Structure 1
Amino acid sequence: MDRSLLVGPVGADSPITRTSVLRTSFASRGGQTIVNHKYHTAPIKIAKAFPLDGQLGVIVMDVSPGLLDGDRYELEWTSDRDSHVMITNQSYMKVHPSRPGGGSSMYQTFYLEENAVVEHMPEPVMLYKSAAFQNETHVQLLAGAVWMQADVLCPGRTLRGERFDYRCYRNALSVRYGDELIFSQQQRIEPSRQSIHAPGCWDEMTHWATFYVFSDRVNSMHLEQLQQTLDSYAAPGGHPVVAGASLTHRFGVAVSAASTGAWPLQQLMREIWQTARAGVLGKPPLRFLQG
């Protein structure tokens, strides 16, 4: 299987790194956002871009079985002034087992010019047994720009009995407003070395979700709106949900939630997203999301 660029020495003791690239820029033309430029190498590409309630919807496709040992995905998104895009993918991001000392990774950057809006709503991440995955995201905002993202993390294929059987998960997010670093988050989970099920840690929970919105438009009123959505969320029977929201150091709100299944968190993230769209953007829910 060709995974684009082959980087690093090849040998019995040296893992192979295959780097796949997706670079896309968006522009506003006559009030409609378009794909201004795109470049990709297998196995990731844009499967479809389509007008969506005055913005652009983009679906990313991975034509491989998922991230294999040695895979590295690099995605770069550039949004010109006044553009508005919603980005998602076709299915769960599946992270396959890796050898000791190996692993897979994804490096993603978002550049938003003045008044650009990016709503990044990917499907959940599924960490298979013995998987090691590093995920790194960098966001650059200019005045008036809005960036939102929701993530759901699964502990493994729970129907096959996998729960926290992966080796390591590292997640990093940094956000800059102009030249100022306004948010930095680092997360590292190594189930075999940590007391995952201890009170104050994961306890009985197995799945984790986060939602972020960053913009100089964000204030304490938006925090109150999001907290109200959390307080009114009716958790499905058999799947308790614990969640909270807080203002970040500057220009942002962070929401965290945990449960015993992915779909209750997906539903909660959808409701949080709708609340943020209404409060920050003055936009209704996207029509294709309404039942």
Structure 2
Amino acid sequence: MKQEHYAADDVSIEQEQLSIASGIGMPLRISELRAVFAVGVGQTYVASKYHTAPIKIAKAFPIDGQLAVIVMDVSPGLLNGDRYAMDWICEAGAHVMITNQSYMKVHPSMPGCGSSMLQTFELADNAIVENMPEPVMLFKNASFANESIVHLRPGAVWMQADVLCPGRTLRGESFDYVGYRNSLTVYYEDELIFAQRQRIEPKQQRLEDAGCMAEMTHLATFYLFSDRISSAHLELLQNKLDEYSGNESSARHSIIAGVSRTHRHGIAVTAASTAAWPLQGLMREIWQTCREGLLGKQPLRFMQG
């Protein structure tokens, strides 16, 4: 597993994949979803939205002043050549939680192509976005590029949790996919404050080696960015990791996890295990700790689990 850091002017995942597809004469199928969230009478609402099949906003739930949004994908998942582009704009003071209905399933790809998703988040002053998608499932021979770009204004809060599965393990798939690329870029008032690049190519890398994946198979990350963050929030998350490491989930599937401050205005949690569900449980605990410790909010109750 290779972690890479690039300058802001490097070629993006989106540009690279478009170039590859064009080179082999295979245009990507682009599906778009754009939504703007605003505040009125103390409640966040959808000010405008636009989508093209197969993705759309299925449900929006007003909860205690914020809005919970569920994204629906009416296709079997990301097929070869699919590209999803989602733009999320939060106006000043808006508060939205975004999730999807089920695992993001990435189907087999043709050589030199694959599928991708690009999400951009624009947060105005004091806006809050909690992006909590279900895990990513990479099928055998899948190739997937995932890119997120975040722009923050003063007082804004952006958090996101991701869980990556090595394949359909109950069907004997484990690291049988072609490649996975993940990119996160965060700006605060037009200043680049964080850039993370990850590339996993199972056939080219020795993932089972110590210092890499070793016996672990599933990965999870949680990111929190805001100028509201202090060392007290880092301590809260470290305590939560220590507490979670001794529970029943950890006894059945060991979890390795750590938390650290980023260069500026950020906290990152990274975890690994041998199943998705204990990592989902950990991400939920971390999320709830951030909601209470940073936002003064109780856990959202419409989610299962």
TM over 0.5: yes
For residue 285 of structure 1, report the CA deviation from its aligned partner: 1.1
Could you list the runs of 5+ residues in structure 1 that have no partner in the other structure?
1-6
- Map 1:79-158; keep pairs closer than 5 Å: 79-158=90-169
Alignment check: 8 A CA contact 2:36 2:47 kept: yes
Q: Deviations over 1:199-231 (max 9, x none)?
A: 010000000000001000011110100010000
Alignment check: 8 A CA contact 1:53 1:287 kept: no
Aligned partners of 1:124, 1:23: CA distance in 2, in Å?
Answer: 22
Alignment check: 8 A CA contact 2:88 2:122 kept: yes
Instruction: Name the residue aligned to 2:76.
Output: 65
- 2:125 counterpart letter in structure 1: E
Could you list the runs of 5+ residues in structure 2 that have no partner in the other structure?
1-17
TM-score (norm 2): 0.90
- 1:288 counterpart letter in structure 2: F
The reply on whether 1:278 has 2:289 as its aligned counterpart is: no
The reply on whether 1:14 has 2:25 as its aligned counterpart is: yes
RMSD over aligned Cα atoms: 1.7
For residue 54 of structure 1, report the CA deviation from its aligned partner: 2.1
- 2:297 counterpart letter in structure 1: K
Highest RCO, 1 vs 2 (Cα 8 Å, sep ≥ 6) = 2
- Dislocated runs of 4+, deviation >6 Å: 7-12
Aligned partners of 2:85, 2:291: CA distance in 1, in Å?
Answer: 27
Query: Which segment drifts farther, 167-176 or 278-287?
Result: 278-287
- CA pair 151-235 structure 1, distance change in 2 beyond 3 A: farther
- 1:130 counterpart letter in structure 2: N
For residue 284 of structure 1, report the CA deviation from its aligned partner: 1.2
Identity %: 66
Alignment check: 8 A CA contact 2:143 2:177 kept: yes
Aligned partners of 1:162, 1:171: CA distance in 2, in Å?
Answer: 21
The reply on whether 1:265 has 2:279 as its aligned counterpart is: yes
TM-score (norm 1): 0.95
Aligned partners of 1:8, 1:279: CA distance in 2, in Å?
Answer: 44
Alignment check: 8 A CA contact 1:8 1:17 kept: no
Query: Which segment drifts farther, 112-121 or 8-17?
Result: 8-17
Q: Which of residues 263, 267, 279 is equivalent to 1:253? A: 267
- CA pair 238-104 structure 1, distance change in 2 beyond 3 A: same
For residue 15 of structure 1, report the CA deviation from its aligned partner: 2.3
